[in-house]
Amino acid sequence: MNTKKVLSFASILILLLLLLKSDTFSNLISGDPAAIQDLSKGNFWLILSITLLLMAVQNLITLIPVVLLISVNVSIFGFVQGYFWSCATSVIGATITFFISRYWFQTLLHRYVSPRLLARIDARGFWVVFIGRLIPVIPSSIVNITAGMSSVKFKNFLYATLLGNMIYFLVVSLISDQLFS
C-alpha cells in the first residue's frame, strides 16, 4: 500500500473515531426521532443531512442497525418519503463505501486471491450483492466492502444495491409504519 493511501486511511479513521466519541453522535444513534429533530431545531435540510450522515456511517461500519435508521426516517418523514429517503441515502452510503474499499483495499485482495476466483465473483457479482442485501443478518457494510474489494463492476453493484434495498427497505418500512400507527 502506498503512503498516500495509508495517510488518507489514517485521516478518515481518526475523524471517524472523533465522531463516534462525540455526545451528539451518541444521541443520534440512540434512534430517537425526537432527539434528531431537537438537534436540528426543526431545520428540514439539517434533518436530511443528519439522516444522510447516519446512513453513510451505517454503510461504512455497521454501528447502527439499518432497521433503526429506516424506522427513524419513516417516523420523521412519513411512510412514503421515509422509505424513499432511506433507499436514496443507503445507495449513496453504499456507493461511498464501495469506492473507498476499491481505492484502499482492492490491490490487497488481488494479491491474495486467485484470478480464477475473482473471475467467478465478477461473473456472479450482481447476484452476490443482491442476495446479500436481502439477507437481514449480513451487515450492509460487509457487502459494500467486499464488493468494493472484489472485481464486481460498479454498475452491477449499483443495480443490485438499489433493487435489493428497495425490496428489503419496503418490508422494514411497512413494519415500522405499522408499529408507529
Give the separation between CA 153 and CA 54, rounded to whole angstroms.
26
What is the per-residue pLDDT for 166? 95
Residue 145: which residues within 8 A CB-CB, separation 6 or more?
Answer: 97, 101, 105
**Long-range Cβ contacts of 153-156 (<8 Å, 24+ apart):** 153/122, 153/125, 154/98, 156/125, 156/126, 156/129
Which phi and psi (to 5°) does residue 136 adopt? Answer: -65, -25
pLDDT higher than threshold 70 for residue 135: yes
Percent of the chain with pLDDT over 70: 83
More confident residue, 3 or 172: 172
Cβ proximity of 61 and 141 under 8 Å:
yes
What is the per-residue pLDDT for 161? 96
Residue with cell 476499491: 102
pLDDT digit string, tens, across residues 27-74 = 666 656 666 666 666 677 877 888 888 888 888 888 778 888 888 888
Average pLDDT of the chain is 83
- Helices (runs of H) and strands (runs of E) counted in the chain: 10, 0
Residue with cell 464486481: 152
Q: How many CB atoms lie within 10 A of CB 178?
A: 9
pLDDT higher than threshold 60 for residue 1: no
Residue with cell 455526545: 23
Give the separation between CA 175 and CA 144, rounded to whole angstroms.
25
Rounded mean pLDDT of 131-150?
A: 90
Cβ proximity of 47 and 37 under 8 Å:
yes
DSSP, res 152: -
Rounded mean pLDDT of 156-179?
A: 91
